[in-house]
Structure formats: C-alpha cells, structure tokens
Structure 1
Amino acid sequence: MTTTRILPPTPEAHQSQLLIRSIFEQSLKYEPNREIIYRDLVRHTYLDFNKRVARLAHVLTNHLQIAQGKTVAFLDYDSHRYLEGYFAIPMVGAVLHMINFRLSPDEILYTINHAEDAVIFCHEDFLPILEGMQGKMETVQHIVLLSDSGTTPETSLTLSGEYEDLLLQQPDTYDFPYFSEDSIATTFYTTGTTGLPKGVYFSHRQLVLHTFGLATALGAMDNALKIGSNDVYMPITPMFHVHAWGFPYLATFLGMQQVYPGRYEPPMLLKLVLQEKVTVSHCVPTILQMLVNHPQVKTFDLTNWKVVIGGSALPRGLAMAAMDLGIEIITGYGMSETCPVLSLTYLNRKTMSHLTEEEEADLRVKTGRPIQMVDIKLMNEEGQLLPSDGKSTGEIVVRAPWLTQGYYKDEERSHELWQYGYLHTGDIATIAPDGVITITDRKKDVIKSGGEWISSLLIESLISQHPDVQETAVVAVPDQRWQERPLALIVAKPDTNLTDEDLIRHMEQFSDSGKISHYAVPKQYKFVSEIPKTSVGKIDKKRIKKELEV
C-alpha cells in the first residue's frame, strides 16, 4: 500500500492561512485613493476604509467585549458600514450574521436566537422591528444604532451607542489576529418551502477561495462580461443575501471603486449608475425589470453597464430588453448553500461574432458553465450520475471548495443536503456535451400534465417575449383530466389591452415551430397588478399556489 508523501515544514516557516484579512490587505496595494461611496451621503477612500475597519475592530473587542467565536449581526441596507462589518467582524475572529430584514418579524427573531447573536448593529429604520422583540431576544447584549440622519430617534430599546460616535473614540490601527482558516466567518438564513429558516455558514477559507474563483471566471476568461480593477461596482442584490454574491469581497480584493445604494429606489439606483459611472452590478430579474421599465430609462446611456442576473431564471424577453439598452448581461447560478456562485454564462467574443442577436440572447439566459474549481453533475433519485449529453434530465448536484458543510444545528437536513456525497440543489437541468447547463425547473415547480413534464421556466421565458407582457409567473394547478396544467400570472404593460386569446395565439406559434409541445401551451391566464415575491426578490411560487387555492 502506497501513501502520498508529506514532508514536515521547516520549524521557522510561516504557515499562511486563507483568512479574510488576506483579501483586506490587498486593498491598499494599488489604488488607495479610490473611493467607497454611500448614496449621495458619504465618500471616503480605501485609506479611510482601512482606518474605519480598525476602529470597528476596537469597538467590537474593547467597547462591546466580543470574544472570538461570538456572533455579531448587521441589520442594515447596503452601505459602507456593512462593508466594514464584512471585514472587521470575521477578522477579529467573530461570526458575521447578515439579517434578512425582509423576513417576517417572527422569522427574524428566530434567526437572531438560533444564531445566538450577541450584538446587533441596527439601522434606524429597523429599530421598530427590534422594539417588538424586547424580552424575546435570548442572547443579545448590545444594540448599536446605524444612523443616516445623524440623530438618535426615540426608542424603547437600550442602545450601546451610535456607530459613527463609537468609531471616533477608537484608534485607527488594529493588530488583527491569525487563527485557523477553517474558522466560521459568516452565517445567514435561507427560507425553504416548509419549516423555519435554515442557517448556512462559511469559513474564512471558503470565502477567500470563492473570491479567487470569481476573480478568475470574470477577470481572466475571455467572456462577454469581463471585470477588472478599473471597474466601478454597485450591488443591487442585498448585502444580507449570500454575501451580495461575494462581489464586495472581490471588489475590495481588486481595489475597485465601490458604490453602495442604501435602500433600493429606482431613481437613486439610476442616478448612482450614471453619476458614479457604475460599470458592474448584479441583481435578480425583478429588479432589472423595474429598472428597464422605468419611464426615463431610454434617456440614459447604459452602454457601459455590465450586469450579472441570478436568483431566478432570466426571461429571454427581459434579456432582449436589456440588450436593446446596451446593457452587457449574463446569467449567474448559485444558491444560499453555495456561497453562492457555481456557474456563469460563458460567451467569448469569437463566438459572439457569429451569432444573431436572438441566438446571443438564447445563450445569455442559459445557466452557463461551471466556474473554475466547481464540479457540477446530474443525478437521478437513486443517486446515480447521469451523462452530460444535452438530453438526460436530472437534479444538479455539486462539489466545490466553498459549499456550506451543513445547516447550523440541523443534522437531519444537513444529511439530506449532502446525500451521496454531493450537495443537492433541488434544480432540474440538462448539461450539454460542451458543459452548458440549462435549468428546466425547480424540483418542486415542474408541472406534470398527462404524464408529460412541462418546464415552467421555459413557458415563462416564451410568454415574456410578448411585447405587452411586463412580467409573468407560471405554476401548476390541479386538473381532473390531466393531473396538472400550467396557469400563467400576467402583469401587462401599462395602457395595453392584452387578453387570454392574444397570449394563447402567441404561445401557439412556439408549439407550431416545435419549440414546445402543444400540451405545454397554457390555456389559463390570470391578470394581476403584481406577482408575489420572496424576501430576496424571487417570484414566490409557494405563495402563488397557496393564494390560488383560496
């Protein structure tokens, strides 16, 4: 029996650890005078940022007495303060809990207690949420105010100070400790189809490797959307949602100018994109839909804006609308459990030169190819891996260096997540021989009609191409004859007279051309003013189905 060869290190040799401080320490190397901007309220340089992170570290360890391993929560909009928390909290050895303020108060309270938060940094707008939880937060010792107004509002809470005031009282250097790269750095909660939110967690090592993976996939590859240190970054995915897809760590690692919009308001978002010359963002389709449909959007020059779409499928109609505005758009895929990025559209310039606009849009809406270091397979319900032949359909399962190792304090669901040694995504897909992934549906959303499977995502993408459709969602409804049939919720564009018959004719052209089978054409349409969304802006099909039952 042979074994691999391991040599003992030289006693004096430094054993480097992949810690978040490894990312932070790059931020002053090349462009220390680049700015970090918060709305139209705050501007400071990376030099200032480094000092502020050091001061926050002193607040944590000296003023709040936070020991390594304790959990510190942020309840804030996307801000420069949140970015400082992304670094200072894990760098002192604590765990950053990113609270999703769009959850219900009961769910927020559950996550605070389950994560065992010791401190909550809370924006003034969210104080009423915590006021309603007084006496119920089991481990919270301190609440620190985050104020945009510069004043302290009246509150029944006992506050341990205001963020800016506390920072001013601290030194601007800090000797950050070294510890194991496997130490937990972050945690947050993902809502499932049933039960309470599930806590996922990520180590320093995983976050550093995810940053390297993003830098390689978006920086080194000849892709349609390519980013580098000269880009200007602004998230339009909340910072509480899977580390804002890891981009704040990447932007800091590369020393990009960063813009944080606070509360998401279309006029402010567009103002910042234009005023600060934002070149790279990421968001869910519903946010892009809101911006693309803004009354003044065609008066703006968006040709330098690159956007990664994720969270749910990018409808082809929306992709075409964005492309018509000059936006460089691609699809990203991942989930809360995966840190998140697993795959991105890969569309190199040589390939693009041979494509029509419609063919290019078809590739941009697909799930893309796995980024570096990610191994994606298809698996059937018996745990057997399926071929990547473009025909076999199965659940996406994955291995990568940055996947959560389980659900916090939930052994049973952790074993389910990692059954057969792969992380199970719950997404159904095909994988072509060239590696391009096409997600056909979520396992829970696929429609079975007369023994045949119908992809709700494909139907949504085709309906979205009707010029009078602003937004759509397709779900299964019971049918006595066929078991299930698709029903489409439709938000029509203003001042249009869209009818069921218009949509049926529109969809029948796709069945006539062979894009879908005739049985996949929805015959039921429900016109609504808005489509229910989850806390992170995805279409909430669970809620839609429940409301249709009433």
Structure 2
Amino acid sequence: MITTKLIPRTASAHEPPMLIKQLLAQSLKYEPQREIIYRDLFRMNYVTFNGRVRKLANLLGSLGVKGGDTVAVMDWDSHRYLECFFGVPCVGAILHTINVRLSPAQILYTMNHAEDKVLLIHEDFLPLLHAVKSQLTTVESIIIISDKVYAEGGSVEVPEGFAGEYEALLSDQSEACDFPDFDENTWATTFYTTGTTGNPKGVYFSHRQLFMHTMGLMSYVCGYQAVPFSALADVYMPITPMFHVHAWGFPFLATMLSTKQIYPGRYEPEMLLRLLLKEGVTLSHCVPTILNMLVSSPAAQQFKPQLSKWKVIIGGSALTKGLAKAALELGIQVYAGYGMSETAPIMSVTYLNDLERPLPIDEQVDLRTLAGRISPFIDMRLMDDNGQFVPHDGQSLGEIVARGPWLTQGYYKEPERAEDLWRNGWLHTGDVASITPDNWVHIADRTKDVIKTGGEWVSSLDIEDLLSQQAGVAEAAVIGLPDEKWGERPYALVVLKPGVEAAAEALRSQLQAKATAGEINKWYVPDRIVFVPEIPKTSVGKIDKKRIRSEMKDVLLNG
C-alpha cells in the first residue's frame, strides 16, 4: 500500500464543488457583450442570457420543480435549449434531452422511465405528444414553445391544460435567483441511447462529470489546439442535435468562454448556409451526412473563400477519405472525433503535431480520417476476449476500453447493464480498434459489424472508406451477410453524387483491379454493390446497419 499524506482540512476554508453554475458564471466575466443568436429571429448578449436562465429557474420553481426532479425538453437547437442546459441543472434538477427522432412508443417509454415532471415542447412536436399524452404517468406541467412569438403581432395558441407559452411565462419571472451549492456528484442530465435490442437505455451524468468534460475539452481544443478554438476569434454553431450527448459538450464550453454562438433551429440547408456566411461561423460539429450534403452542393464552390474559415468536427460515423478530401479541397478544415453516449462523449479528436501539420493534403487525409488522438485525462486501452490488454503497436486489434473523469457510471434503473458496461473495471465500448504508439486511434469496426470471411476479419468501415474514394460515390454502407462457402461476405449500398451515372459492376471492378494489383486485400471486394437513393440512418444520423440487414437483405443478395 502506498503511503500518502492528506492536506489538513480547515473548518473555515471553502471547498467549492464542481457545478455547472460555475461554468455559467464565467460567461459574464470577460465578454458579456458577445451574442447568442437563434436563426434570423432572436439575438441577445450574455447579460440577457444569464437573466433568462435565472428566470427559467424561477419559473421551474413556480411549477413545483425541486432538486432531483426531471425536466424534459423537445425543441430544435435553440437559445431556449441552451437556457435549459443551465437553468435546469443549476437548481439541482435533472435535464432530460428527449430524442425527437424516436418513435412515439420509445418517447413514451423514456419519459415515463425518466419520471419527467415538467415538459418543454416546441409546437412542431405536438403530434408526437398527442400520440402518447394519455399514457404519461409523471408529467405534471407542459410548456409550449413556438417561434411565432418573434413575428410582429405573433401569438401562440396554448393548448388546454398546458401551463403556458415559454416566453410569456418567462417574462413574468424575476431575474433574481441565487443558485444553491450542493454535492458535485448530483445528477445533472439524462438522455436515452438506443441499442440493437430492448428499450432505450438511460445514460446519466453528474455536475462533476460535465464540469470535467468541459475542462478536458477546453484543454484539448483551446490549449493543445487540436481543433483550434479561440474564445476571442471563433464563432460556434452546432449542427448536431442538442439532444445528442449534450451537443458533444461544446455548448457548455462555448458559454463558459462567452463565445459568440449561433443556434440554427431546424436543420434546413438554406438556413444553415445563410447563418454560416452571415454570422461568420468558424466552428461546427456534425455527422458525415450533413457535411457530405454541403460539399456535394454545386453552390459550395462559389462560397469557397468563406468556407475556408470553417472548422468541422465529424463524429457519429466514420469520416471517409473521400469526404475528407472533398472538404479539404474546399478549404474546410475537417477533424474526426470519437466517443459514445456513455462517454459524454469526447474520448479522442484529431491532433496534428508539429511534424504532421506541414504534410500535403493527401497525407493529412490519412491522419484526419483516423478516430483522432486520445484526449487529455482519458486512459484508453485495447482488450482481448480474455480480458488481457493488447499492445498499442498500430497493428494489434482489441476492443476499446476506457477510464476517465467524465464517463457515465451506468444506466438508470438497470444495474445489470451497468455491471456489463464496466466489467473488469473498464468501460467497454464495443468498438474494435488499433492504437499507435503515439496515440492515434484507428477504429476497425463495431464488434457486431466486423465481417468474418474466408478466415479473415474484414472491417466494414475500411470497405466503406475504399468506396468513398471512387469517382462519383457520395456515400456507402457495407454489411456482412451469411455465405455457405466463406462464412460471410461483404455487400454494399452506394449513393452516387448528383448527376453521376455509373454501373455497379464497373465500381466493383475498380476494387477488384486494386485487389489484383495487391493494393487491397481481396476479401475487401464486395460480392454485390447496389445503388440506392439514400442509406438508412438512425435517429442521430448514423448508418443503421441493423435496419439494412433486416430490410434490405433481399435487395443486396438479389440486386
């Protein structure tokens, strides 16, 4: 046992807990005049924002919300959502960010399971609510949200039984509110992640975990400049839903730094581009589908000078070489990030060191499409099926396991799943990867998506990456299907770029030629490639391979 010596405790000394209210407090210290903007409808500075957060806290109190109660939100990415990121947990309540892309039955399950007491809901989602409202067991008050209040003379019809409209209710509240101190391990947020089977799982995070995630993110992007982020110069706009893992934690960081923030509401290409150009957005994050939509647009070339100031972190699905190169050629600086719902989410982000930054684009693409370098304060290892660690030699494969100060403790009301998540004392991700000696992470696949063919383990992500580099290919998805001779064989769905015509067999022949030349493994050539107008996605924009296997198996096998 190691002998240590504790610092003596002084009865009168203050030991402040790590609380979200401390992140909020920083926003008024240095640049309170900076703006938070919602579409082309609403603008405010950080003084107004802080006042509104306190008004929201008082409003929740008037509705009977106490510490430990759960407040749910169904809204587009907005300033209101950002206010909830702070106003709800700062009073000791729990913020439930509802995934509005789930089915009504799944939304009902998550609301009852989380025991939501108050619901804030945008009127666009009222049909979802009406489908389940009679079966909600804990909701006592509902607040309607609408953009109509920003129109001249605009009015909002408040449905019968609702507490009222958000802006009107807020206007009746005082800005005077002292957020209390409490234990930093107090539950702050929850959301639900869907798996391959069963009901969605409730992930939860404490004030301390979110505070530490913010500090870790700041040290990596502001300190090490992994994705160069300056509180002075950058303008932030999320293009990841705020219900998805706290919008990757950036709203907490951007608010703490008084960064100019833009919230686009419902994702509409024209509005996103307008805000990007008008407000000078320099930092965003999104899934590959969103970025692919933009770089494939014929209009992208005419805005190349403005796009050259834009930094985009890609997560949720792998950043392919084809997409990375197309973005870099437009001047967009793309970076890959890796994490999961259970990790808050950041565990690794692209970091080019002094030797790598001067490399030409083609060589940078190879690095930028890895899953990044391991983030500060995260201990990431590779583990085999026997619970033994695998060397970080850039070749050996193992399941990614991790420890860190912001990883979830488990799943709400499901202790057996929490035990499985943390078996052997490490959080198990289900992702197979290799790690280089200098901390680059290369995701090979999800354990359930690796293809076993001819005695070889083949990565579906690697095949997707190969297809993305072929001329005319916009997007690809690869799954393994049973084969009597080889065990499994890869099959591919491909979306072509607008205006491109191609033959599936010609595309397959290009890969076959690479295999014949020894450039790629022969097992990486799909048995069949099928062109489709779109690839099925999950509620957060990831390729839905479970759905592809169940719904498109016959199409892939028979063409």
Q: TM-score, with normalisation over the residues of structure 1?
A: 0.97
Q: Answer yes or no: is the 8 Å Cα contact 2:89–2:189 preserved in 1.
A: yes
| Counterpart in the other structure of 1:370 | 374
* Pair 1:203 & 2:206 matched: yes
Structure 1 residue 356, shift from structure 2 partner:
2.4
In the aligned structure 1, how far is the partner of 2:343 from the partner of 2:514? 35
In the aligned structure 2, how far is the partner of 1:509 from the partner of 1:213? 45
Structure 1 residue 520, shift from structure 2 partner:
1.6
In the aligned structure 2, how far is the partner of 1:508 from the partner of 1:226? 43
Stretches of structure 2 lacking an aligned partner (at least 5 in a row)? 555-559
Cα distance per residue 1:357-400 (max 9 Å; x no partner): 11100100001111110000000111111111112101000000
| Counterpart in the other structure of 1:321 | 326
Cα distance per residue 1:320-339 (max 9 Å; x no partner): 01001100111000000000
* Pair 1:466 & 2:465 matched: no
In the aligned structure 2, how far is the partner of 1:416 from the partner of 1:16? 34
C-alpha change, 1:440 and 1:513, in structure 2 (3 Å) is farther
Q: Answer yes or no: is the 8 Å Cα contact 1:217–1:372 preserved in 2.
A: yes
SS in 1 for 2:433: strand
Residue 456 of structure 2 aligns to which amino acid in structure 1?
A: E
| Counterpart in the other structure of 1:127 | 126
In the aligned structure 2, how far is the partner of 1:463 from the partner of 1:2? 54
Structure 1 residue 4, shift from structure 2 partner:
2.4
Residue 257 of structure 1 aligns to which amino acid in structure 2?
A: K
| Counterpart in the other structure of 1:306 | 311
* Pair 1:525 & 2:524 matched: no
Q: 1:420 pairs with 416, 420, 424, which one? A: 424
Q: Answer yes or no: is the 8 Å Cα contact 1:225–1:329 preserved in 2.
A: no
Q: Answer yes or no: is the 8 Å Cα contact 2:158–2:165 preserved in 1.
A: no
SS in 2 for 1:43: strand
C-alpha change, 1:544 and 1:179, in structure 2 (3 Å) is same
SS in 2 for 1:211: helix
| Counterpart in the other structure of 2:387 | 383
- RMSD (Å) for aligned C-alpha atoms: 1.4
In the aligned structure 1, how far is the partner of 2:60 from the partner of 2:31? 28
Cα distance per residue 1:215-251 (max 9 Å; x no partner): 0100111436444342100000000000000000010
Q: Answer yes or no: is the 8 Å Cα contact 2:313–2:335 preserved in 1.
A: yes
Q: 2:248 pairs with 233, 245, 248, which one? A: 245
In the aligned structure 2, how far is the partner of 1:287 from the partner of 1:114? 32
In the aligned structure 2, how far is the partner of 1:412 from the partner of 1:157? 42
C-alpha change, 1:361 and 1:55, in structure 2 (3 Å) is same
| Counterpart in the other structure of 2:174 | 171
SS in 1 for 2:108: helix
* Pair 1:216 & 2:219 matched: yes
* Pair 1:392 & 2:391 matched: no
Residue 117 of structure 2 aligns to which amino acid in structure 1?
A: A
In the aligned structure 1, how far is the partner of 2:407 from the partner of 2:448? 22
How many matched pairs? 548
Q: 2:481 pairs with 452, 477, 484, which one? A: 477
SS in 2 for 1:25: helix
Structure 1 residue 497, shift from structure 2 partner:
2.1
Structure 1 residue 512, shift from structure 2 partner:
4.2
| Counterpart in the other structure of 1:96 | 95
Cα distance per residue 1:119-168 (max 9 Å; x no partner): 00000101111111122000000000111012666676521011100111
Residue 208 of structure 2 aligns to which amino acid in structure 1?
A: R
SS in 2 for 1:14: coil
Residue 435 of structure 1 aligns to which amino acid in structure 2?
A: N
In the aligned structure 1, how far is the partner of 2:14 from the partner of 2:458? 57
SS in 2 for 1:133: helix
Q: Answer yes or no: is the 8 Å Cα contact 1:188–1:242 preserved in 2.
A: yes
In the aligned structure 2, how far is the partner of 1:24 from the partner of 1:79? 17
In the aligned structure 2, how far is the partner of 1:511 from the partner of 1:211? 45
Structure 1 residue 310, shift from structure 2 partner:
0.5
Residue 336 of structure 2 aligns to which amino acid in structure 1?
A: T
Structure 1 residue 529, shift from structure 2 partner:
0.7
Q: Answer yes or no: is the 8 Å Cα contact 1:131–1:157 preserved in 2.
A: no
Q: 1:348 pairs with 353, 360, 378, which one? A: 353
C-alpha change, 1:2 and 1:531, in structure 2 (3 Å) is closer
SS in 2 for 1:475: strand
In the aligned structure 2, how far is the partner of 1:251 from the partner of 1:161? 30
In the aligned structure 1, how far is the partner of 2:484 from the partner of 2:204? 44
SS in 2 for 1:352: coil
Q: TM-score, with normalisation over the residues of structure 2?
A: 0.96
Q: Answer yes or no: is the 8 Å Cα contact 2:285–2:315 preserved in 1.
A: yes
Residue 206 of structure 1 aligns to which amino acid in structure 2?
A: Q
In the aligned structure 2, how far is the partner of 1:2 from the partner of 1:82? 47
Q: Answer yes or no: is the 8 Å Cα contact 1:184–1:203 preserved in 2.
A: yes
Identity, % of aligned positions: 56
| Counterpart in the other structure of 2:41 | 41
* Pair 1:438 & 2:442 matched: yes
Residue 80 of structure 2 aligns to which amino acid in structure 1?
A: R
| Counterpart in the other structure of 1:17 | 17
C-alpha change, 1:211 and 1:224, in structure 2 (3 Å) is closer
Structure 1 residue 401, shift from structure 2 partner:
0.3
C-alpha change, 1:485 and 1:2, in structure 2 (3 Å) is closer
In the aligned structure 2, how far is the partner of 1:540 from the partner of 1:253? 35
Structure 1 residue 441, shift from structure 2 partner:
0.4
* Pair 1:357 & 2:361 matched: yes
C-alpha change, 1:155 and 1:465, in structure 2 (3 Å) is same
| Counterpart in the other structure of 1:236 | 239
SS in 2 for 1:135: helix
Stretches of structure 1 lacking an aligned partner (at least 5 in a row)? none
C-alpha change, 1:344 and 1:514, in structure 2 (3 Å) is farther
Q: Answer yes or no: is the 8 Å Cα contact 2:238–2:286 preserved in 1.
A: yes
In the aligned structure 1, how far is the partner of 2:80 from the partner of 2:158? 21
C-alpha change, 1:514 and 1:174, in structure 2 (3 Å) is farther
